[in-house]
Structure 1
Amino acid sequence: MHKRFTELSTPLVADACVRLGVPLRAAPAGILPVVPGHRVAGRALPVRHYGSVDVFLEAFTTHAAPGDVLVIDNEGREDEACVGDLAVLEAKVTGLAGVVVWGLHRDTADLVEIGMPVFSYGAHAPGPVRLDPRGPEALRTARFGAHTVGADDAVFADDDGVLFVAADRVDAVLDTAETIFRTERNQARRIRAGETLRDQTRFDEYLRRRAEDPEYTFRQHLRRIGGAIEE
């Protein structure tokens, strides 16, 4: 999965989900890698944070597999960082591929040195001072914005954001993303060679058809001619 994602991007994966009718589950806007350019893809390892690092250590001990991506539900809190250098270093030596956090991180300089892809909504110096009661879903699922993520999901993350895709749809989504990628790269090559995108998409033809049928959409037109720029 990670190897196939190397030449792709989360926008391409998102477009593939739309084209296939796969639920589009994106992390709330604003999540970024601690190190720009980092990317990761792998099976989700979900945890819910209640104020203590022990839930991460238990997940590493009982549920983790090499290549997993730790998905941390800290309810999007902005008053504490829930993950730092020690937890991320432990994730790395456990064999995980990366970490995505619905919340904040700290120890930025150390995370950069560790080099593991970490995605969060920003840095914050204070760690948790609370210790909330642990719920039964602590190691089963993680909430991430409006979405619930489980071990039967895959995670894709890069500079454009984080997406969650059901594991049983990943191959089809990546196949479609690769098709869109090839189409768009060819379109870009032709633009650079002097053939405008309007010419490639037969935009004049689209305008004529829309004049005849106001319900005819550009997306329908692209599907009919094999374009890919909107999905």
Structure 2
Amino acid sequence: MLKAFADLSTPLVADACVRHDVPLRVAPAGVGAVVHGHRLAGRALPVRHYGSVDVFLEVFGRAGPGDVLVIDNGGRTDEACVGDLAVLEARAAGVSGLAVWGLHRDTPELAEIGLPVFSYGGYPPGPVRLDEREPEALDTARFGAHLVSADDLVFGDEDGVLFVAAEHAEEVLATAHRIRETEREQARKIVAGETLRRQTAFDDYLARRTADPEYTFRRHLRRIGGAIEE
């Protein structure tokens, strides 16, 4: 999956989701990589954290090669829920990265380990609580407004993290590649002196909009084969 995502970005995948009316499920703003340039792509391995590392050790028994551990810590900013030992164990279990709805610690050690970890940021204290475990602890993880399961794929890069149902992955990634090629060609033309206004026949759009107020720019782009805004 990481290979399939190699030439793509989360903005391209998000645009492709919109193009196919696939639910846009994006992690809250601020979730980013501990190490600049790290990326995520793989099947979600969901888990909910209640204050003890044992739930992580348990879910690793379900891990498949390349899975991305998706940790639901309720978006808490008063504790770090994962550190170097948990990340080392994740790597040993074949996990390809972690997406944390919360905070991490042991930042220098995580950088040295090299496994991609995405979170809100670093924070020194670990948990001092032990909450009651829910029945869904190893089945689903909440991540912001979204519920993530093993039926989802996780993608992450410098713009953030998003989740796509595995059943839609093939069409979404294929469309993301097509959008990428269109946008790269548009960028090349701008650098060469052909403005985006000219490429998108913007004057024609303005004239059509004057004649038909319901003629939107997105409709215009679809008509001429443009890719921006979608």
- Common fold by TM > 0.5: yes
Show CA shifts across 1:84-123 (max 9, x none).
Answer: 0000011111111100000000000000000000000011
Name the SS for the 2:71 alignment partner: strand
Q: Which residue of 1 aligns with 2:67?
A: 68
Q: Matches of 2:55 and 2:214 in 1, distance apart?
A: 53
Q: Matches of 1:164 and 1:216 in 2, distance apart?
A: 32
Name the SS for the 1:2 alignment partner: coil
Q: Which residue of 1 aligns with 2:160?
A: 161
Q: Deviation of residue 2 (structure 1)? A: 1.0
Q: Matches of 2:199 and 2:9 in 1, distance apart?
A: 23
Name the SS for the 1:95 alignment partner: coil
Q: Matches of 1:9 and 1:109 in 2, distance apart?
A: 26
Q: Deviation of residue 3 (structure 1)? A: 0.4
Q: Matches of 1:92 and 1:140 in 2, distance apart?
A: 20
Q: Which residue of 1 aligns with 2:130?
A: 131
Q: Which residue of 2 aligns with 1:84?
A: 83
User: Which one-letter code corresponds to 1:179 in the other structure?
Assistant: R
Q: Matches of 2:92 and 2:158 in 1, distance apart?
A: 24
Q: Matches of 2:214 and 2:104 in 1, distance apart?
A: 47
| 1:8 equivalenced with 2:8 (yes/no) | yes
| 1:198 equivalenced with 2:197 (yes/no) | yes
Q: Which residue of 2 aligns with 1:223?
A: 222
Q: Which residue of 1 aligns with 2:173?
A: 174
Q: Matches of 1:169 and 1:230 in 2, distance apart?
A: 21
Q: Which residue of 2 aligns with 1:118?
A: 117
Q: Matches of 1:205 and 1:106 in 2, distance apart?
A: 54
Name the SS for the 1:164 alignment partner: strand
Q: Matches of 2:156 and 2:43 in 1, distance apart?
A: 12
Q: Matches of 1:37 and 1:214 in 2, distance apart?
A: 43
Q: Matches of 1:6 and 1:21 in 2, distance apart?
A: 23
Q: Deviation of residue 143 (structure 1)? A: 0.2
User: Which one-letter code corresponds to 1:53 in the other structure?
Assistant: V
User: Which one-letter code corresponds to 2:110 in the other structure?
Assistant: L
Q: Matches of 1:168 and 1:214 in 2, distance apart?
A: 37
Q: Matches of 2:121 and 2:111 in 1, distance apart?
A: 14
Q: Matches of 1:208 and 1:36 in 2, distance apart?
A: 45
- Please give the root-mean-square deviation of Cα atoms over the aligned residues, in Å: 0.5
User: Which one-letter code corresponds to 1:160 in the other structure?
Assistant: D
Q: Moved runs in structure 1, 4+ residues, more than 4 A?
A: none
Name the SS for the 1:4 alignment partner: coil
User: Which one-letter code corresponds to 1:16 in the other structure?
Assistant: A
Q: Which residue of 1 aligns with 2:19?
A: 19
Equivalent pairs counted in the alignment come to: 230
Q: Which residue of 2 aligns with 1:37?
A: 37
Q: Which residue of 1 aligns with 2:48?
A: 48
User: Which one-letter code corresponds to 1:220 in the other structure?
Assistant: R
Q: Which runs of 5 or more structure 1 residues have no equivalent in the other structure? A: none
Q: Identical aligned pairs, as a percentage? A: 74
Q: Matches of 1:113 and 1:98 in 2, distance apart?
A: 14
Q: TM-score, normalised by structure 1?
A: 0.99
Q: Which residue of 1 aligns with 2:107?
A: 108
User: Which one-letter code corresponds to 1:11 in the other structure?
Assistant: P
Q: Matches of 2:145 and 2:179 in 1, distance apart?
A: 27
User: Which one-letter code corresponds to 2:47 in the other structure?
Assistant: V
Name the SS for the 1:71 alignment partner: strand
User: Which one-letter code corresponds to 1:189 in the other structure?
Assistant: R
